[in-house]
Structure 1
Amino acid sequence: MSNPSDGSTDPKTTFMIEEIQELLPHRYPFLLVDRIIDYKESERAVGIKNVTMNEEFFQGHFPGRPLMPGVLIVEAMAQVGGIVLAQLPDIPSGKLFVFTGIDKVRIRRSVVPGDQLVITAEFLSLKRKRFAMMSTKAEVDGKLACSGELMFAMVD
């Protein structure tokens, strides 16, 4: 993939929110990736999610002690994985991979307003050009917040 924003033919390694929205169907309040800061085709993506007190889920999780729900951290990891899967060279453009399973997921620390999640998704496998597996992790300040293996299936 070339980088048309600067006219070069170098592979694109970063994505702004508008480009993420071209690749993922998610929208507010469920788009949980603000930027891709590193991308290598068919291998990995590193994205960020800036966690602010303005997130709707903090109204009820938990009043007086806001914590980002673990399932939303996992969803953010899946969305970064979706950036890799949406651009696999052997997959027709516009095909959608949906999140279908989790293995070995562990939440290691709380994520609170003011944190910046740095999420890494590494491509592990693709079977029958339909079923994919990713290894993912989310870190805050270089410390592991969550990790796990995520499964995806392409839908027609």
Structure 2
Amino acid sequence: MVDKVIELEAKKVVAIKNVTANEEFFNGHFPEYPVMPGVLIVEALAQTSGIAMMQAEGNEGKIGLFAGIDGCRFKRQVIPGDQLRLEAEILRLRGSIAKAHVRATVDGELVCEADIMFALTDVVK
């Protein structure tokens, strides 16, 4: 869901998702009124958070499993042609638990904001 990372710092990542009219999810959401599903906005923010978490020392080879979300609010619809700016800042990273504050905006206007929690685990093959 992330097209490009445009900023990468120790605890903060900013990424872009270009929302195009040919996205598969628009076929059913909604055929006459295409709106990006909120859960996919949250997924894009979670993926952005994952990029930020993997920057931390000792997290190489780990993945973040979605563990919870607090205070999630949607303020604006996302439609074809919008460019989502995805921001994730790691608030806490202790042991196997991480928490990030995330925001999605379009043209500076808030789309979604939340705190997302992750459980970090080693990749098992």
Same fold (TM over 0.5): yes
Q: How far apart in 2 are the matches of 1:79 and 1:152?
A: 11
1:84 aligns with 2:52: yes
Paired residues, number:
122
**1:118 is aligned to 2:60:** no
Partner of 1:146: 112
Cα distance in 1 for partners of 2:33, 2:64 equals 34
Q: 1:60 aligns with which of 20, 24, 28?
A: 28
Distance apart, 1:65 and its partner CA: 0.4
Query: Among residues 91, 100, 105, which one is paired with 2:72 in the alignment?
Result: 105
Instruction: Spell out, residue by residue over 1:70-118, the C-alpha distance to the aligned partner (whole angstroms, 9 max, x if none).
Output: 0100110000000011121132x21111111100000000000000000
Q: CA deviation at 1:155?
A: 2.2
- Secondary structure of the 1:147 match is strand
Please give the alpha-carbon distance, in whole angstroms, between the structure 2 residues aligned to 1:100 and 1:58.
Answer: 27
- Of structures 1 and 2, the larger Rg is shown by 1
Letter in 2 for 1:53: A
Matching residue of 2:6: 37
Select the structure that is richer in strand: 2
Quote how far apart the aligned CAs of 1:154 are: 1.1
What amino acid is the match of 1:112? I
Q: Structure 2, unaligned stretches of length 5 or more? A: none
Runs of 4+ in 1 over 6 A off after TM superposition: none
Q: Give the alignment's TM-score, normalised by structure 1.
A: 0.76
Counterpart Cα distance in 2 of 1:126 and 1:40: 15
Instruction: State the Cα RMSD in Å.
Output: 0.8
1:133 matches 2:99: yes
Distance across 2 between alignment mates of 1:55 and 1:115: 12
